A and B are shown apart, each in its own frame.
Chain A
Amino acid sequence: MKTKLSRRSSLLRMGGAIAGLLTVSATRAAKAAVQTIFVSTTAPKGYDPTKHKWLMCIDDTKCIGCGLCAEACKKENGVPEGPYYRTWIERYIIPKPKPGSDQTRGEAIVDSPDGGIHGFPEPTLPKDQIEHAFFVPKLCNLCENPPCVQVCPVGATFKAPDGAVLIDPKYCIGCAFCVQACPYGSRFLNPVTHTAEKCTLCYHRITRGLKPACVEICPAEARIFGDLKNLKTDDPIQKFYEKNRVQVLKPHLGTEPRVLYAGLDKEVR
C-alpha cells in the first residue's frame, strides 16, 4: 500500500533537518571559540595570554615625527604598499588667530603624507603664523569594548585575554564591517589577502619577550610599552602613568581604549 505523506510528517521532517543544522552550527561555534583563543594567533606554544595585560602609552610631547615607527611597522609586518597602515603619524598645525578675531586659534591643518613614513614637508604656513605644531602617533587603540569585535559576523576578530585585539585571517570573510566600525581608522582590507588587518602590537614579538617594532625603533621614546601583570621595578609604564595626566581618543564613544596619551590637544580625534 502506498503511504501518503501527511502535512504533519512533512513538517516534522523539515523541523528535524533544521534542528540538525542548528546543532551543527552550535558545535562549530564552540569549537571556533576554543580555536580563537588557543590556536589562531602568531604566539609561540606555551604562551599564556591570561598571564599578561599589555598596555601602550604615548608621550605626545616627545614625538618628533620622524616616521621611523610607521616604516618599521610596514617592514616588520609585511604591510602592502599604498594607503594601508597599522600605525601612522599625524601632524597638527594650529595657526594663530586672525588679527582682530575673537578666536583663540585658527582652524587646525592636519596631514599625514604616506602615514608620515617619509617625514613631513615644510608647512605651508609661515612660521610666524603658527601657534602650535605637534605630531601624534596613531595605532589600534586596544579598546576594552572594541566595536570592531562586536560587529564581526564570524568572530574572526577577537580580544585576547592579554588585551590585544587580533584577527584570525583564516576565518575573516572580508566583509569590511570592522573597518566601518573602528572609530579610529585603524583597520583596512589587505588588498593581497582580501582580509581585514590591523595593529597586533607585533603579537609575534611581544609573545616572545620582545617589544613591538614601533616601540623598539622610536628614537624619542615617545612610545612606551609594557605588561601590567608583570611590572618591573622602575617600569617605564608605571612611571608614565604616575607622572602624567593621561587621555584617550574619542572617549565619548565608550570604547575604553588602552592606548593612553599624555599631552594631547583638543583638536586630536
Chain B
Amino acid sequence: MTGEVTNIVVEAIPHFEGYVYPNEGTLHPVWSTLIVIYPYITGLVAGAFIMASLVRVFNVKALVPVYRLSMLTAFAFLLCAPLPLLFHLGHPERCYEIMMTPHLTSPMAVFGFVYAWYLMAVLLLELWFDFRQDFVVWSKTASGFRGILYRALPLGVTDVSEQSLRLDTKMEWILSIVGIPSAFLLHGYVGFIFGSIKANPWWGNVLMPIMFILSAIVSGIALCVFNYIVLTWIRRKIVDMRCLDTMAMFLFYALLVDAVVETLDVLHRGFAAEEGFAVLQTMIREKLFYTLNIGQVGIGTLLPFLMLGALQILRRRVPEAARRTMIFCSGAMILLGVLMMRWNVVMGGQFFSKSLRGVMSYKMEFAGQEGWLTSAIILCLPFVILTVLVKLFLSEQLPVSEHVSQKSSTT
C-alpha cells in the first residue's frame, strides 16, 4: 500500500530525467513566471527611457512626437517593475528590509537603491520639469479632479517666465544625461542578478548584464513603436512617418548590436565548452527548443531583422501603409521575442540540476502565486496605468505649450 501511494506521489511531481539534487525536486522551480516578467518590465523601462533620451540628449528632432509618450511609458512600467519581485517573496511584508537593512554585496539589494534613484531622482524629476509649464497652463482652464491635479502637481512652482522655462529645459537635459547611465545601471543590475550566480553555468556569465541592457533597449524602442501606432490608431490620427521611420532605424541598429552580442555569447560558450556544456546543449536542443530557437531567434530576431533591414534599404520604394504594418509587426515580434529571451534565461537556468546530471520538465500553473495568470495581470497593469496617464497628460483636448516642440532645438 505504502509503495502504491509513493508511486502516485512520484508520478504527480514533475518529471525528472537523470539526477537532480533532492532539494531541487520541488513542484515548480523556485523562480517562476513572475521572475520572468520582472526583468522584462524593467528592461522596457530602461529601453523606453533611452529612446526618449535620443530626443533630449542626442537632439533627434524626428522623435519629438513620441518623447512624452516614451517618458510616460517608462514611468508606467517603472511603477510596476518591483511588483513581480514583491509578489514572489515568501514574506512580502518584510520587503522594506531591502532598503532598511541592505546587504550591499547583493545585486538584489543594490537594485532596490538603483530603482529608487531612477524613479525619484531621474524619471519623476524629468517628467516634472517637462510638464511643469503645462500644468500651470492647464490648471487655469481645467476644473474638477483634473483641475485639482494640475494645480497640485507644479508643487507651488508656478513661475513660467522665460528665464524659469530655460532653467526647466536645462535641468531636463542634465537629468537625461544622468538618466542614460542610470538606465544602464538599472537594467545592468538586473542582468547582474543572474550573471553573478556562478553556481549556474546558464547564468554565470560576464556578458549577461550587457545582453540584458541591449535587449532592453531593443524591447523599449519596440514598445514605443507599438504604443505610438496603437495610440494614433485609437485616436484616428495620421502616423508621423518621419518619426516612425526614425524609430524603425534605431530599432534596427539596436537589434543588430543585440543580436551580435548574443551570438558572441553562444560562440564563446561553444568554444570554451566548460563543465556543464553538455547539459546546456540539451537545453538548447530540447528543453528550450521552441522558446529559444523559434521564439527568441526566429520570431524575435531574424524576422524583424529582415523586415527592418529591408526597410532601411528600400525605404522610399515601400508604400507608407506597408511600411507602417511592417514596422508595427516587427515591434510586436520583438516584444514577444524579448519576453521569450527572459523566459529562456530565467527558466532555462532552472530546467537543469546544479549537479549537471539531470533536467526537469515544468508545466506552468494557471492560478496561484506562481501561476501565469498573476504574471499576465502584472504585465497588463502598466498598460492600464499608461492609459490613465495618457488620458491625463497627453489628452488631445489639452493645449500643449510651444516650448515642448522647441525644446530639442534649444538644448
A84 at the interface (CB under 8 A from B): yes
Residues of chain B within 8 A (CB-CB) of A82 are 26
In the complex, how many angstroms separate the beta carbon of B168 from the nearest chain A beta carbon?
9
0 or 1 for each of B153-183: is its CB under 8 Å from A? (1 = yes): 0011111000010010000000000000000
Distance between B347 CB and nearest chain A CB, rounded to angstroms:
12
**Which among B73-81, B104-112, B236-244, B390-398 touches the partner chain?**
B104-112
**A269–B355 touching, CB < 8 Å:** yes
Task: Report the minimum CB–CB distance from A60 to chain B (whole Å).
Answer: 17
Residue of B nearest to A70 (CB): B22
Question: Are the CB atoms of B198 and A147 closer together than 8 Å?
Answer: yes
- Alpha-carbon distance A90/B355, docked complex (angstroms): 11
What residue in chain A is nearest B35 (Cβ atoms)? A176
Judge whether A173 and B91 touch: CB under 8 Å: yes
Contact of A154 among B25, B94, B167, B350 (CB under 8 A): B94
Question: Is B357 positioned at the interface, with any CB of A under 8 Å from its CB?
Answer: yes
Q: Which of A45-53, A96-104, A182-190, A239-247 contacts B (4 or more CB under 8 A)?
A: A182-190
Across-interface contacts of B106 in A (CB, < 8 A):
150-153, 177
B21 within 8 A of partner (CB): yes
Which of B82-90, B205-213, B256-264, B333-341 lies at the binding interface?
B82-90
A18 to B167: give the CA distance in the assembly, Å.
23
Taking a contact as CB atoms closer than 8 A, the residue among A28, A31, A154, A188 that contacts B109 in the complex is: A154
Check A174–B90 contact: CB distance below 8 A.
yes
**How far is A139 from B350 in the complex, measured between Cα atoms in Å?**
21
Cβ of B227 under 8 Å from chain A: no
CB-CB under 8 A from B23, the residues of chain A are 83-85, 88, 179, 185-188
- A175 and B85 contact, Cβ closer than 8 Å, known pairs A7-B167, A110-B19: yes
Is the pair A111, B31 in contact by a Cβ cutoff of 8 Å?
no
- How distant is the Cα of A129 from the Cα of B85 in the complex, in angstroms? 50
A172 on interface, CB distance cutoff 8 Å? yes
Partner of A185, one of B21, B94, B101: B21
Residues of A within 8 A of B90 (CB): 172-176, 189, 193-195
Instruction: Give chain B nearest CB distance to A21 CB in angstroms.
Output: 8
Does B249 lie at the interface of the complex (its beta carbon under 8 Å from any beta carbon of A)? Answer: no
- Contact B354–A183 (Cβ < 8 Å): yes
A202 within 8 A of B: no
Q: Are A180 and B98 in contact (CB under 8 A)?
A: no
Closest to B88 in A: A175
Report which of B98, B164, B193 forms a contact with A173, defined as CB distance below 8 A: B98
Asked if B313 lies at the interface with its beta carbon under 8 angstroms from chain A, I say no
Q: Number of A interface residues, CB 8 Å?
A: 58
Q: Which residues of A contact B105 (CB under 8 A)?
A: 150-151
A183 touches B198 (CB 8 A): yes
Q: Chain A residues near B155: list those with CB within 8 A.
A: 5, 10
Measured between alpha carbons, how far is A156 from B19 in the docked complex, in Å? 30
Within 8 Å CB of A153, what residues of B?
A: 97-98, 102-103, 106, 108-109, 112
> Would you call A112 an interface residue if the criterion is a C-beta within 8 Å of the partner chain's C-beta atoms?
yes
Q: How far is the CA of A18 from the CA of B13 in the complex (A)?
A: 48
- Which residue on B lies nearest to A193, using beta carbons? B90
Q: Which residues of B contact A253 (CB under 8 A)?
A: 198-199
The smallest beta-carbon distance between B153 and chain A, in angstroms, is 12
Contact of B101 with A4 in the complex, beta carbons under 8 Å:
no
> Which chain B residue has the least Cβ–Cβ distance from A157?
B103
- CB <8 Å contact, B101 and A32: yes
A171 in contact with B97 given A176-B31, A185-B24 (CB within 8 Å): yes
Q: Nearest-CB distance from A42 to chain B (Å)?
A: 20
| Interface residue B120 (Cβ < 8 Å from any Cβ of A) | yes
A185 to chain B, nearest CB (A): 3
* Pairwise interchain contact B94-A88, C-beta atoms closer than 8 A: no
Check B30–A185 contact: CB distance below 8 A: no
Q: Which residue of B lies closest to A182 (CB)?
A: B199
- Measured CB to CB, the nearest residue on chain A to B20 is A185
Measured CA separation A154–B90 after assembly (Å):
13
Q: Evaluate contact between B89 and A151: CB separation under 8 angstroms.
A: no
Residues in A23-37 with C-beta less than 8 Å from chain B: 24-25, 28-29, 31-32
- In the assembled complex, A181 has its CB within 8 A of some CB on chain B: yes
A32 to B26, CA, bound (A): 32
Q: Does A155 contact B (CB under 8 A)?
A: yes
Residue of A nearest to B355 (CB): A269
Q: Given the known inter-chain contacts A5-B155, A181-B197, please indicate yes or no for A269 contacting B95, CB distance below 8 A.
A: no
Is the CB–CB distance between B22 and A154 below 8 Å?
Answer: no
Instruction: Give bound CA distance, A127 to B75, whole Å.
Output: 66
Distance between Cα atoms of A250 and B326 in the complex (Å): 50
Nearest-Cβ distance from residue B202 to partner chain A, whole angstroms: 11
CB of A6 within 8 Å of the partner chain: yes
Whether the Cβ atoms of A147 and B157 lie closer than 8 Å is no
- Does B42 sit within 8 A of A, measured CB to CB? no
CB within 8 A of B197: which of A84, A175, A180, A189? A180
A172 touches B24 (CB 8 A): no
- B100: min CB distance to chain A, Å: 5
Q: Is A115 part of the binding interface, using a Cβ–Cβ cutoff of 8 Å?
A: yes
A173 touches B101 (CB 8 A): no
Q: CB < 8 Å: which of A4, A150, A151, A177 contacts B159?
A: A4
A-B contacts, 5 of them at CB < 8 A, read A4-B158, A83-B13, A112-B19, A177-B106, A180-B349
Given contacts A88-B22, A154-B102, A174-B90, 17 further A-B contacts (CB under 8 A): A6-B157, A84-B23, A85-B23, A112-B21, A138-B21, A152-B106, A153-B109, A153-B112, A154-B101, A155-B103, A173-B98, A175-B88, A182-B199, A185-B354, A188-B23, A189-B26, A254-B198
Chain A to chain B: the 3 pairs with minimum beta-carbon distance, closest first: A174-B90, A185-B21, A194-B90
Interface residues in chain B, defined as those with a beta carbon under 8 Å from any beta carbon in chain A: 13, 18-19, 21-26, 30-31, 85, 88-92, 94-95, 97-103, 105-109, 112, 120, 155-159, 164, 167, 193, 196-200, 275, 349-350, 353-357
Q: What is the interface of chain A, defined by CB distance below 8 A to chain B?
A: 4-7, 10, 18, 24-25, 28-29, 31-32, 82-85, 88, 90, 108, 110-112, 114-115, 138, 147, 150-156, 171-177, 179-189, 193-195, 252-254, 269
